[in-house]
A and B are shown apart, each in its own frame.
Chain A
Amino acid sequence: MMLSIQDLHATVADKEILRGISLTVSAGEVHAIMGPNGSGKSTLAQVLAGHPGYVVTGGSVTYMGQDLLEMQPEARAHAGVFLAFQYPIEIPGVSNAYFLRTAYNEVRKANGQEEVDPMDFLDIMTEKLQLVEMDEAMLQRSVNMGFSGGEKKRNEILQMAVLEPRLAILDETDSGLDIDALRIVAHGVNSLRRPDKATIVVTHYQRLLNYIVPDFVHVLVNGRIVKSGGKELALELEAKGYDWLIEEPAAVGA
């Protein structure tokens, strides 16, 4: 088992967002986390990556036998956790190439591997750029500065392709993408699927799951997983919406 989340609780500004999440992910699997707005699915993604704005108030997360919650965000990245941000951050003046090389080398260094020089890194980049159909000129532009929404998302997948994470978490990577960009992003993600790697796809819509086919679908409502199933659950949600699941726990509680 790669990732084991047990009864996870988390708050932001004293408001409880995650209210007892349990989930296990094994190597080779793709899990989709779906749910209505405000259900806590993005929070779950960010808590796993170590976002400083959330406070974990209960439960545990074990990743590759380690206590993930004890690790700094950079240590999680070194151990192979990657979060594709819903709203990627702009970094003026720092070129994409420099940022990626810095990240790549820091991950290598942390894993006892040698750093790669700029020329060799360019070779690696050239191959990865093709994967997400990005122009080489993008490398010299400042990180995400002036990028369109689609370019930012592709840039996230480019970073993922370069860092080759063991556990990739995609936080609403499909939001704001047109169908072409969606296809490119999905192709990038699918090309990175390996038996020793796992992916968690957080999404509001079923659309992305036509391209990245999940093994498991979990529905998050009000900070809890209310239903889990196979990929057909996503289709059911597409047809019926989330309302029937939102009412269900209320009925049980009454």
Chain B
Amino acid sequence: MTGSLRSRQRLEPDVGTTVYHQQFATLPNEGPTWLGPMRKRAMERFEAHGFPTPKNEDWHFTNPAPITEEAFQPMKPALGTVTHADIAPFLVGHAEWPTVVFVNGRYSPSLSKVDNLPIGVQVMSLASALHEEPTLLEQYLGKVACYETQGVAFTAINTALMRDGAVLHVASDTVVETPIHLLFVSDAGAEGGVSYPRNLLVVERNARATVIEQYASLGDARYLTNSVTECVVTDGATLHHYKLQREGMKAFHVGHVEVTQARDSHYVSFSFVSGASLSRSNIYTTLAGDGCGATLNGLYMLDGHQTSDHQTRIEHAQPNCYSREMYKGILDGSSHGVFNGKVYVHPIAQKTDGKQTNKTLLLSDRARIDTKPQLEIFADDVKCTHGATVGRLDDLASFYMKSRGVGAETTRRLLTYAFAAEVLETIELEPLKEALEAMTMARYTGSTGK
């Protein structure tokens, strides 16, 4: 079966594979000496496996065909017509926060604001870091995010074809309360194109940092974002990582986040998804030291024919670590949500404490959720739980509100918002929490909620 499929693919190679091969062949040979061989290896891995199909367990519920069958061309550098006013709506929280802006996948110095960085924090574009910080990049770039298997074919493509992105380095013992905002916008010039944002976030010993990684559209273009973010959280360090996917409704987004955590480190992630026609968000973390903690929360709100697929993977590779996951989805129209939460507890990882929940609210009879908790536990002294609920609004809460005189429609709207708010409340970065709450409140109630 597999053999015949392979041979058919050889006869008629799918459009996407050829397109990426061409892009690779014409890539300028720049950067440090180790980069070329890494790109080449990644391209070879991709070509060996091809794109995943729903036959691949990791893509069982989402067929990436709408992305893989399209011949996206590398995005042209933006024309420089994007203004501060254009990006202002996406400056969630405070406009004064250091902001690194990318337009159509390329760093925009004029739109960025990095002159106010706290001491100990270094931020630069990947393009310049390849020249200025080759040692840091050689140590980590392509070392955290695996690109070896078919399931991560998009990561292999990104590794082979990446051009730009953000590199953040936080020095040891640096506690940064101000978040760093990485903002990736696409304008009308993105039509038919693909960008490969590649980010590297390194938080050194006992340091603490907060990063917002946001993807948004300025127009209604049809394009693909294929992003990879590698995070290195070293001994005793903490990284708060908020990813907001608010691409346009015709856009595609495949975003891969992979994290490695050392002893006593904490990684706290929130994935907020409201955009894109079809999106896949991977968030993988490896608890590679004793006493780590990982918190992976998220909210996806879909409508129309949107699809959003989250795959989280937590590797408990060492003892005495905890992981917490709460993902919630609100699905309207004919939308399709997918949540696949993998938790691997290695034989050595005794005293692991893991908890996962996925709750979905279906607002329409045509909306669909596939939820798949996947716990594989090879240690005996562990506490791991998971739970998934799918349903409609709580009757008792509805009765409570109505008994105060609140009408049926307002009750429905407020409780829909409240469903989302339960997970938004876990966001520790107060101004961001308020911004996302206001956005969600407006979406479901048409009110500001004040």
Are B399 and A106 interface neighbours, CB within 8 A? no
Are B437 and A74 interface neighbours, CB within 8 A? no
Known pairs A73-B402, A94-B417, A107-B405; A102 contacts B397 (CB<8 A): no
Majority secondary structure of chain B interface residues (helix, strand, loop or mixed):
helix
Are B399 and A51 interface neighbours, CB within 8 A? yes
A106 to B406, CA, bound (A): 6
Are B418 and A77 interface neighbours, CB within 8 A? no
Are B421 and A77 interface neighbours, CB within 8 A? no
A177 to B315, CA, bound (A): 46
A46 to B397, CA, bound (A): 14
A5 to B419, CA, bound (A): 37
Are A106 and B449 interface neighbours, CB within 8 A? no
Among A73, A82, A98: residue with most chain B CB under 10 A:
A73
Partner of A106, one of B405, B422, B441: B405
Chain B nearest Cβ from A66, distance in angstroms: 16
Is B415 interfacial (CB 8 A cutoff)?
yes
Q: Mark B250-261, 1 if CB is under 8 A from A, else 0.
A: 000000000000
Q: Which residue of chain B lies nearest to A49 when distances are taken between CB atoms in the complex? A: B403
Q: Which residue of chain B lies nearest to A53 when distances are taken between CB atoms in the complex? A: B395
Are A91 and B403 interface neighbours, CB within 8 A? no
Is A93 interfacial (CB 8 A cutoff)?
yes
Are A102 and B410 interface neighbours, CB within 8 A? yes
Known pairs A53-B395, A94-B449; A74 contacts B405 (CB<8 A): yes
When distances are taken between beta carbons in the complex, the residues of chain B under 8 Å from A106 are 405-407, 410
Q: Which residue of chain A lies nearest to B422 when distances are taken between CB atoms in the complex? A: A92
A246 to B124, CA, bound (A): 79
Chain B nearest Cβ from A72, distance in angstroms: 7
When distances are taken between beta carbons in the complex, the residues of chain A under 8 Å from B395 are 52-53
A118 to B401, CA, bound (A): 19
Give the size of the chain A interface in residues (CB under 8 angstroms): 33
Chain A nearest Cβ from B34, distance in angstroms: 48
A93 to B417, CA, bound (A): 7
When distances are taken between beta carbons in the complex, the residues of chain A under 8 Å from B403 are 49-50, 73-74, 76-77, 82-83, 85
A113 to B437, CA, bound (A): 31
Partner of A93, one of B399, B400, B411, B421: B421
Chain B interface category by residue count:
20 to 34
Is A250 interfacial (CB 8 A cutoff)?
no
Q: Which residues of B, 380-426, contact A by the 8 Å Cβ criterion? A: 395-408, 410-411, 414-415, 417-422, 424-425
A83 to B418, CA, bound (A): 22
When distances are taken between beta carbons in the complex, the residues of chain A under 8 Å from B404 are 77, 82, 99, 103, 159, 163
A126 to B404, CA, bound (A): 19
When distances are taken between beta carbons in the complex, the residues of chain B under 8 Å from A142 are 421, 425
Q: Which residues of A, 185-208, contact B by the 8 Å Cβ criterion? A: none
A88 to B397, CA, bound (A): 9
Are B421 and A74 interface neighbours, CB within 8 A? no
A49 to B396, CA, bound (A): 12
Are B421 and A85 interface neighbours, CB within 8 A? no
Q: What are 28 contact pairs spanning A and B, CB under 8 A? A: A50-B399, A50-B402, A50-B403, A52-B398, A52-B399, A72-B402, A73-B399, A73-B402, A74-B405, A74-B408, A77-B403, A78-B405, A88-B400, A89-B397, A89-B400, A91-B397, A92-B421, A93-B424, A93-B425, A93-B440, A93-B449, A94-B417, A99-B414, A106-B407, A106-B410, A110-B405, A142-B425, A163-B405
Residues of chain B whose beta carbon lies under 8 Å from any beta carbon of chain A: 395-408, 410-411, 414-415, 417-422, 424-425, 437, 440-441, 449-450
13 extra interface residue pairs, beta carbon distance < 8 Å, beyond A92-B419, A93-B417: A51-B399, A53-B396, A73-B402, A73-B403, A77-B402, A78-B405, A92-B422, A93-B441, A94-B414, A94-B417, A102-B406, A102-B414, A103-B406
